[in-house]
């Protein structure tokens, strides 16, 4: 009997059935991983490329508008020439005794303190928009490099390379870096609104009230959406600023999901599937889950 058991154990050691089964399990796992990771990468690349394209388009148009505004804010040297022409006409018409002392006639090319601040805000706005466009170009290159690094070799080796890329996304916070370019563009818009409001206020306070109210409404609306997104995580009013503040709040006051939230989430998922799906198999699977959820 002992000799027979030893022979059986020896045959099992030399058998390749377990190895083949293990290889089959691994191949299925890595094939599934490749499918899931490719779907994740495609979704991430599509959203990120769309954001970078929006930044490039808007930053280009906005920079052109901002540059035109800056040129319009420059002091007009023709004003000094016109004042001198008026003095010359008075001399010709009424004689030299009617002309005041022109030594105190200041050049219109001089910058007052208020004009200097308006110019500073405008140039800062232009610099932020150009910086956002530069970041979007760099982001496009990073995304192209990320997409091109699909990896070579066996299915397992490609899967390991893909996981290293995904870990790199989280470690280097690529999504947060790409989001800062949108924040730069929003800051540029805010500074442009301040500069435009101040410039029009110096010329016509009545007209500037429209621009000031519009700028204030935009800032207030943005602040309200960020505040709502912090209070309600299910709010659709998400922006790079709200994501940044949400990350800071999570670090300071971490919130753990409760069983009530999980129960409500399961119920919401089941209701959504039953309302939207027309596939009988999907509806049957959702109906079977009703008995397991309060």
Is the CB of residue 217 less than 8 Å from the CB of residue 224? Answer: no
The whole-number pLDDT of residue 18 equals 46
**C-alpha span between 264 and 261 (Å, rounded):** 5
Residues 142, 48: Cα–Cα separation, whole Å: 10
Reply yes or no on whether the pLDDT at 5 is more than 80. Answer: no
Predicted local distance difference test score (pLDDT) of residue 259: 47
> pLDDT tens, 158-206?
888 888 888 888 888 888 889 889 889 999 999 999 999 888 888 888 8
User: 210-237 as b/e, with b when 16 or more CB fall inside 10 Å?
Assistant: ebbeebeeeeeebeebbeebeeeeeeee
The set of residues, in sequence order, having a beta carbon less than 8 Å from that of 265 and lying 6+ positions away, is: none
0.85 exceeded by pTM? no
Position with higher pLDDT, 107 vs 163? 163
Average pLDDT, the chain: 78
HSE-up of residue 252 (Cα within 13 Å, Cβ side): 6
End-to-end CA distance of the chain: 58
Q: Do residues 73 and 122 make contact, with C-beta atoms less than 8 angstroms apart?
A: yes
| DSSP character at residue 258 | P
Q: 25-53 as b/e, with b when 16 or more CB fall inside 10 Å?
A: eeeeebeebbeebeeebeebeeebeebbe
The upper half-sphere exposure of residue 145, i.e. CA atoms within 13 Å in the direction of its Cβ, equals 10
Segment 10-61, tens digit of pLDDT: 665 665 554 445 557 777 877 888 888 888 888 999 999 999 999 999 999 9
């Amino acid at each position: 009997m002992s000799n027979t058991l030893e022979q059986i154990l020896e045959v099992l050691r030399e058998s390749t059935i377990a190895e083949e089964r293990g290889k089959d399990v691994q191949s299925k796992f890595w094939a599934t991983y490749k499918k899931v990771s490719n779907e994740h990468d495609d979704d991430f690349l599509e959203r990120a490329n769309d954001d970078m394209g929006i930044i490039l388009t808007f930053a280009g148009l906005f920079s052109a508008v901002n540059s035109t505004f800056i040129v319009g804010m420059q002091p007009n040297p023709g004003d000094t020439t016109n004042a001198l022409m008026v003095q010359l006409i008075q001399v010709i018409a009424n004689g030299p005794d009617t002309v005041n002392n022109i030594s105190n006639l200041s050049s219109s090319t001089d910058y007052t303190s208020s004009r200097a601040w308006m110019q500073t805000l405008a140039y800062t706005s232009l610099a932020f928009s150009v910086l956002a466009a530069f970041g979007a170009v760099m982001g496009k290159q990073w995304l192209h490099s990320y997409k091109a690094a699909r990896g070579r070799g066996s299915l397992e080796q490609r899967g390991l390379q893909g996981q290293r890329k995904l870990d790199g996304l989280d470690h280097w916070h690529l999504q947060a870096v790409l989001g800062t370019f949108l924040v730069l563009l929003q800051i540029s818009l805010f500074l442009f609104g301040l500069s435009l409001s101040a410039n029009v206020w110096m010329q016509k306070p009545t007209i500037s009230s429209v621009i000031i109210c519009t700028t204030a409404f935009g800032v207030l609306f943005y602040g309200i959406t960020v505040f709502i997104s912090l209070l309600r995580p299910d709010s659709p009013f998400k922006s790079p600023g709200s994501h940044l503040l949400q990350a800071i709040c999570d670090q300071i006051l971490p919130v753990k999901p409760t069983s009530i939230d999980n129960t409500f989430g399961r119920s919401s998922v089941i209701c959504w599937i039953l309302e939207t799906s027309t596939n009988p198999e999907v509806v049957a699977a959702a109906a079977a889950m009703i008995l397991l959820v309060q």
